[in-house]
């Protein structure tokens, strides 16, 4: 089996190794002169002591260790799935199966005044290093960009600086309202203010002096712009999803025969719509499944978009979809949470939120915040990927969980609370029906 992999990022490298381990010959083509960097680690460059390696894999080691035929500086321009041929700037490559792992491209959201001194457009590792060298000379910094990346950058630069984060009208996106309030309070305690608005323009003579947003002026001496990204695909005859990525099923198959897709350039079907997951872990999983199946296997990806991180001192773990995504997919979903009480704004120090189907009680989304939340990340991912119901979460055997100090994990407690509320609503509705007879 001849497997062609397009793209040398997280998904492409993982797909190549998986296909080779399955016994196929693999050719990896990458448009640049080297394999990609671990972009999820870029924010660490802003810390006093950067953690981890930025290099995903060396091209030479990928070739010598796994036997992958490497072709750098040779990106795929178009794909003819009927003849199983990919066209590059250097000619044609025939394949039996193809994995598209071409990643994403930055979208140029031009804001007036971006060319002024003190504005940092974060597109590469060099941009993060430049900000790291300069940030100590700035006292008030404005940040604008996608929610998760904005929070990570704001957290890294908030020591000694006043920081405002412009999240856009959508705010923190997939975070539940309760979790959003918890993160907002935690950010405020670190001198970071979160605003649900965009920066309209940057003002100043030669150097940035302020930004304008919704008619308000915010004085500052530094602006960090984190551009949005969009899927990057060659010309290929497959259906695309709601966000422009190649539409795939759980096997990572596109609608073109013999063509798979993984990572930032792919979107998973969800009901009548599709979702994208721009996470390192999701790209690894999707790449592995695509590689196995391109080599003739039959794997299925249970991608849940699980995130586990510490945000301004609060441990946060999320998996699955929110109410808005579920509704757009044609699901009848509802959200309920554990409430927000206690001195730290969370019930017993821990907050949990569940998105579930009203009729089947199947859980489609989980969010947890507080001590021990990160330790629950695998459990949270399994809750969503295994299609757990509220009953199975409320009445399952659970050992003592360190740092939780409860006889049940917060997810189980929240599931039980929701079941009681549903039961009470049912009893109330039945009583109303009898009174009207």
Q: Report the pLDDT value the prediction gives residue 110, as an integer from 0 to 100.
A: 77
Indicate the helix (H) or strand (E) that contains 403: none
| Domains of the chain with bracketed CATH | 2-106+230-294 (3.50.50.60), 119-225 (3.50.50.60), 307-435 (3.30.390.30)
The residues of the chain scoring below 50 in pLDDT are 340-347, 400, 405, 433-437
Residue with the two structure tokens 């957290």: 155
Q: Largest Cα–Cα distance in the chain?
A: 79
Q: Would the CA dihedral through 385, 177, 143, 107 be positive or negative?
A: positive
- Give bridge partners of residue 141 from the DSSP assignment: 163, 222
State both tokens at 87.
């066209």
- Give bridge partners of residue 4 from the DSSP assignment: 27, 98
Which tens digits make up the pLDDT trace of 119-129?
A: 999 999 999 99
Q: Would the CA dihedral through 58, 64, 70, 73 be positive or negative?
A: positive
Distance CA 76, CA 265 (A): 14
**353 neighbors 366 (Cβ within 8 angstroms):** yes
**380 neighbors 354 (Cβ within 8 angstroms):** no
Q: Report the pLDDT value the prediction gives residue 341, as an integer from 0 to 100.
A: 41
| Terminal-to-terminal C-alpha distance of the chain | 70
Q: Output the CA torsion 358→359→364→369 (10° steps).
A: 40
Distance CA 182, CA 375 (A): 19
Indicate the helix (H) or strand (E) that contains 435: helix 410-435
Residue with the two structure tokens 């055997």: 397
């Amino acid at each position: 089996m001849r497997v062609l992999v397009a793209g040398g990022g997280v998904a492409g490298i993982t797909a190549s190794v998986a296909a080779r381990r399955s016994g196929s010959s693999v050719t990896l083509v990458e448009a640049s002169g080297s394999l990609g960097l671990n972009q999820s680690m870029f924010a660490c460059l802003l810390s006093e002591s950067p953690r981890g390696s930025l290099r995903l894999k060396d091209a030479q080691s990928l070739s010598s260790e796994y036997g992958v035929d490497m072709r750098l500086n040779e990106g795929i321009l178009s794909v003819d799935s009927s003849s199983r041929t990919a066209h590059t700037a250097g000619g044609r490559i025939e394949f039996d199966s193809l994995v598209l792992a071409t990643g994403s491209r930055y979208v140029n959201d031009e804001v007036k005044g971006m060319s002024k001194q003190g504005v940092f457009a974060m597109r590469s590792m060099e941009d993060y290093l430049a900000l790291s060298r300069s940030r100590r000379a700035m006292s008030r910094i404005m940040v604008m960009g996608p929610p998760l990346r904005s929070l990570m950058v704001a957290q890294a630069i908030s020591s000694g600086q006043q920081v405002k984060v412009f999240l856009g009208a959508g705010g923190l996106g997939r975070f539940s309202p309760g979790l959003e309030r918890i993160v907002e309070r935690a950010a405020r305690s670190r001198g970071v203010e979160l605003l649900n608005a965009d920066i309209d323009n940057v003002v100043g003579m030669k150097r940035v002096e302020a930004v304008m947003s919704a008619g308000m002026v915010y004085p500052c001496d530094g602006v960090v712009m984190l551009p949005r990204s969009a899927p990057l695909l060659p010309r290929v005859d497959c259906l695309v999803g709601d966000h422009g990525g190649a539409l795939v099923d759980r096997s990572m198959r596109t609608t073109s025969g013999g063509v798979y897709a993984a990572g930032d350039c792919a979107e998973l079907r969800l009901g009548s719509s599709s979702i994208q997951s721009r996470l390192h872990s999701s790209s690894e999983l999707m790449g592995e499944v695509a590689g196995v199946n391109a080599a003739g296997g039959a794997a299925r990806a249970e991608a849940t978009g699980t995130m586990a991180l510490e945000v301004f001192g609060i441990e946060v773990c999320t998996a699955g979809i929110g109410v808005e995504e579920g509704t757009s997919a044609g699901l009848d979903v509802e959200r309920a949470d554990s409430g927000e009480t206690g001195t730290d704004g969370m019930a017993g120090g821990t907050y949990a939120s569940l998105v579930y189907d009203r009729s089947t009680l199947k859980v489609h989304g989980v969010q947890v915040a507080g001590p021990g939340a990160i330790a629950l990340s695998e459990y949270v991912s399994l809750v969503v990927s295994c299609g757990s119901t509220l009953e199975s979460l409320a009445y399952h055997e659970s050992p003592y969980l360190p740092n939780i100090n409860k006889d049940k994990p917060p997810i189980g407690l929240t599931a039980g609370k929701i079941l009681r509320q549903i039961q009470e609503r049912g009893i109330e509705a039945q009583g109303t029906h009898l009174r009207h007879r």
